[in-house]
Amino acid sequence: MSADQSGKSTFKRAFKPQGMSLRTRLFFALLAGVARSLMNVVLGKEWYGLDRLPRDEGFIVVPNHCTEIDPIVVGHMLYNQNIMPHFLAKDGLFKNPILGAALRGANQIPVERSGAGAGKSLVAAQEVLDGAGAVVIYPEGTLTRDPELWPMKGRTGAARLALGTGAKVIPVVHWGAQEVFPRYAKGFKIFPRKKVKVVVGNPVDLSAFAGMPADKETLEAVTEVIMAELTSMLEELRGEQAPAERWNPAAHQQSAHGRFVERGAKGDEQEQTKNDVGTTEKGDLQ
């Protein structure tokens, strides 16, 4: 899978490799304890395929993304398996005094969308993988724009990280959290108590791309393989068939980032379904 076949990183080093410190682990344990207790109250859970999670090696987790509480759902599952999740989150979240302190304390990874710092997140992710950690990256880059919450056209960040590191890519799909906190909602829908199902898949087979350069064409092809696997797994979990054509925000005049429903908007952006309820403010957890 790696572009150089040696298993060595193709990213330039920016930090000294290091594992998670005791202080960070304690801080993370505190946050996880609060989040886990909350999730146990508001959500029942069923987890499948936990034996497919790699042990003693770094790996990349690629989940579907349909509501803002997805990171808690996925993080809960990983943490309960004694795996510390490291999410790539947009850098704006780190500027919030409270949330930013929590994210930094838990050793999460900020993502700058443009400029000189755009590649730093991949370097930081490399460090986590070198330390046998788990990096969670949403291949869609934001909440899906698909009206029925199927995986939409992906972005190439996860593919770039996979090709540059050779790390296993583990697909994870979940369904049910959107019933508790619908996309862009203002509050939780606690009653009646809902259930979320999470399925861990086998590593995505990217052997066809071994030795290939990480150019635009290759990255897009890898991304499509990842998105196809997520869609297939979600079809099985939901017991439904996804649309034949993957949702492409650009084809629907939707922005690539942030919340896509604007106040006073017309057309596709106004359409709402049972799975699409909430506010219209901009900003989105990546």
Tens-digit pLDDT profile for residues 197-246: 999 999 999 999 998 999 999 999 999 999 999 999 999 999 999 999 99
- Residue 197 CB-density burial (10 A; 0-12 exposed, 13-18 middle, 19+ buried): middle
Q: Residue 191 carries which DSSP code?
A: S
Per the CB < 8 A criterion, the answer to whether 284 and 268 are in contact is no
CA angle 172-69-258, nearest 5°?
95
Name the residue among 107, 109, 96, 85 with its Cα closest to residue 157.
Answer: 109
Distance between CA atoms of 124 and 110, rounded to whole angstroms?
Answer: 9
Say whether pLDDT at 166 is over 70: yes
pLDDT at 27 over 80: no
pLDDT tens column, 109-126: 888 765 555 578 888 899
Question: What's the rounded Cα separation, in Å, for the pair 166 and 128?
Answer: 13
Q: How far apart are CA 61 and CA 235, in angstroms?
A: 19
How many whole angstroms separate alpha carbon 230 and alpha carbon 236? 10
For residue 261, name the pLDDT band (cuts at 50, 70, 90): low
What would you report as the CA-atom Rg of the chain, rounded to the nearest whole angstrom? Answer: 18
How high is the pLDDT of residue 105?
Answer: 73
| CA separation for the pair 74, 1 (Å, rounded) | 25
* Mean residue pLDDT across the chain: 81
Query: Which pLDDT does position 53 carry in this prediction?
Result: 98
Q: Which one-letter amino acid corresponds to residue 89?
A: A
pLDDT-based confidence at 101, cuts 50/70/90? confident
Report pTM.
0.81
Strand, helix or coil for residue 92: helix
For residue 21, the tally of other CB atoms under 10 A from its CB is 10
pLDDT for residue 104 is more than 60: yes
Q: How many CB atoms lie within 10 A of CB 108?
A: 23
pLDDT at 281 over 70: no
